[in-house]
Chain A
Amino acid sequence: MELGEVLQIIEGKVISRDVDLKQEIQMGGGADLMSDVLAFAQEGMLLMTGLTNPQVVRTAEMAGVVAIIFVRSKLPPPETIALAEEKGIPLLASRHTMFETCGRLYKAGLPASSLFEGVLKQWYETFESKKSGA
């Protein structure tokens, strides 16, 4: 699913600069506990969270999260936006709750981040890259 579609589904706003709405999102996950994100996130994941401090962006960078949605109309402080722009991680805002934001995306077909799906995706990528590279 493209980031632009995500934006429509959650009726959200883009809050960082230079966001590519064509960016592809593989799966989603919601958490307010950054250690959980570090434990379950996969490369290519969209993170829904209620936290807005800069460590959310750091966590995203380490865990391979490719975009962040702040739920319930919470706006991040300028440090968070600055760090996200530096790291090239798009920030979006949703006025809906965590539950509804995640629910809307899940219903629209965005798969949940899980270990199994992550492994499968890696496998497909390897396969596809071998196919086009060979």
Chain B
Amino acid sequence: MQPANAKEITKLQELTYELKVEAAMTRNVATISPTATMAEFREVLRANRISGTPVVENGKMVGIVSIEDLIKALAAGELNAMVGEKMTSKPATLYADEPLMQAVSKFSQLRFGRFPVINRQGELIGMITQGDIMRAMLKRLEVDYREEEIHRYRASHIFEDILADDVALVFGYRVAARDFARAGEASSGLKKTLGRLGIHPQIIRRVAVATYEAEINVVVYTDGGEIVAEVRPDRIRIEVMDKGPGIPDIEQAMQPGFSTAPDWVRELGFGAGMGLPNIKSCADEMDLKSTVGVGTHLTIIIYCDGLQKTGSGS
């Protein structure tokens, strides 16, 4: 990833001033005592898969020892020497409350792989590498972009042109019983419509997957029904209503894997009892009500302004 233009570079620079070292550092670092042997140090490196640790005595950092020191000790046959003799004392450090800019310039001046991070009392509280810095900045950039993107797609452009205190667009679809060849047409129509409204693709995907599973259920298990989607600037509500037979035990129906699907449905790739659980994982809110002999009413709510859930998976 190379910053492509001046604007991007400025953004990264700004971030290095904005973010503090402690936001990027790793906490819980492995340490070693100056009285430990180099052989013990080798085990610490091995166990933690790291290439250096700070040397700490009575809570204060007294030095830093790295894999290069270990290699030298090995070459000299001094594995029994104390860490305190082989370490670099008074190592360069960074303060936790310094801006990342300090860290960036120290890395480029001193060319060390890592710096211990201390607080103003001189206690070691973390370590930082260049990788940590990159990760923290990328994470922050991602959050910023996400927010901008959410704003850009907030349902929707059309709503911006409508002057009213309260706006809702309602779309209705009929679903025919047992017409498997046409199952999915309602969901497909809704998906396209939401696309035209400029709603965020991730939101549309969750609506489409949830509505489609619900539509399949209406086709397979009921005497037909309808789907009504109400789109507001901040949320989409999908109601799926059918004319029976109803669900005798809703809790059981919601269990992943529970299914009463006949064989012909299984042969078509459905009927593994994952429909309602899939709907639940796509929805921000889900409500399933059913009366045997009367019908089932499923309500799915998905918010447009939070992208709370990513993907349709759990």
Contacts and interface: CB of A to CB of B under 8 A. Distances in A.
A56 B191 CA distance: 17
A21 interface: no
B311 interface: yes
Interface string B125-150: 00000000000000001100110110
A62 B208 contact: yes
A56 B269 contact: yes
Contacts of B32: none
A33 B272 contact: yes
Interface in A89-127: 115, 118-119, 122-123, 126-127
Secondary structure call for the A interface: helix
A36 interface: yes
Interface string B1-19: 1011101100000000000
B187 interface: yes
Contact of B180 (A49, A55, A127, A131): A55
Contact of A35 (B7, B187, B191, B278): B278
A32 B205 CA distance: 21
A108 B83 CA distance: 48
A39 B269 contact: no
B272 A35 contact: yes
B255 interface: no
Secondary structure call for the B interface: helix
A64 interface: yes
With a 10 A CB-CB cut-off, give which of A51, A55, A126 has the most chain B CB atoms: A55
A119 B310 contact: yes
Interface string A57-73: 01101111000000000
A54 interface: yes
Contact of A126 (B8, B149, B184, B205): B149
Interface in B118-176: 141-142, 145-146, 148-149
A127 B2 CA distance: 11
Given A43-B201, A126-B149, A131-B4, A54 B270 contact: no
A64 B145 contact: no
Contacts of A43: 201, 205
B269 A62 contact: no
B35 interface: no
10 contacts: A33-B272, A34-B269, A35-B213, A42-B311, A55-B269, A56-B269, A58-B212, A122-B310, A127-B142, A134-B7
Interface of A: 32-36, 38-43, 49, 51, 53-56, 58-59, 61-64, 79, 115, 118-119, 122-123, 126-127, 130-132, 134
